[in-house]
Every structure is written in structure tokens, then in C-alpha cells.
A = this chain, B = another copy of it.
Amino acid sequence: MDTALSVIGGRWKATILWRLSERPMRTSELRRSIPAITERMLIRHLQELVRDGVLTRIDAGTVPPHVTYELSEYGQTLAPVVGALCEWGRGHQRRGGA
């Protein structure tokens, strides 16, 4: 089915998951590592991914805020799929695809 696409099918979700599959990151780190994304979209996507259970939000509780996102244990199962997707995409680009 396309259930999986409802999880990773946002404009930036695959990219976010890809970044976080390497290591946990803070909100602002992610924002800077994906220049084209707006803060609004980043946060919305992060929240949706947390709701879907693939990301964990770690709030240090300090002020000023310090929030880290990482793949949840469940999210780890998505990592290889996203990896395969990215790798195929890379091959597709090299091929002159799009």
C-alpha cells in the first residue's frame, strides 16, 4: 500500500529522516543542514514524524530551549527503507533522470 508514503511523503520528510539516520540533531542544526526548508515546515514535519512514532523529541527543558530529535527504536526500521530510496534516487539522477 501507500501507507508508508503517508509517513515519509512530505516534501522534506525523507530528507529529515535521512539526516537523522546518521545522528540525532537539534532543531536549528537540521534547519541549517537543509537550507531550502523553512522553519515552519521543518517543525510541522518533525511533529508529524513524532506523532507517527518514528522520531523521538528530547527536550532538555532548559531556557532557552534545547530540543533534540532522533530516530525512535521503531524509526530505525524505517532507516533502511529511506536509505534504499535515497540510493535509488542518486542512481536515477546520475542516469540523467531528473
A→B interface (CB under 8 Å): 1-9, 11-12, 14-15, 52-53, 74, 77-78, 80-81, 84-86, 88-93, 95, 97-98
With A and B bound together, what is the CA distance between A77 and B90 in angstroms?
A: 13
**Which residues of chain B are within 8 angstroms of A91 by Cβ–Cβ distance?**
77
Cβ contact within 8 Å between B81 and A85:
yes
Give Cα A4–Cα B89 distance, bound, in whole angstroms.
4
The 3 closest A-B pairs by CB, nearest first: A3-B89, A4-B89, A4-B85
- Least CB distance from A7 to B in Å reads 7
Q: In the complex, are the beta carbons of B2 and A15 less than 8 A apart?
A: yes
- Decide if B80 touches A84 in the complex (CB within 8 Å): yes
Chain B CB within 10 Å, residue with most, of A8, A15, A81, A85? A85
The answer to whether A97 touches B5 (Cβ under 8 A) is no
Residue from the set A52, A77, A81 with the largest chain B CB neighbour count within 10 Å:
A81
Say which residue of B11, B53, B80, B81 sits within 8 Å of A97 (CB atoms).
Answer: B53
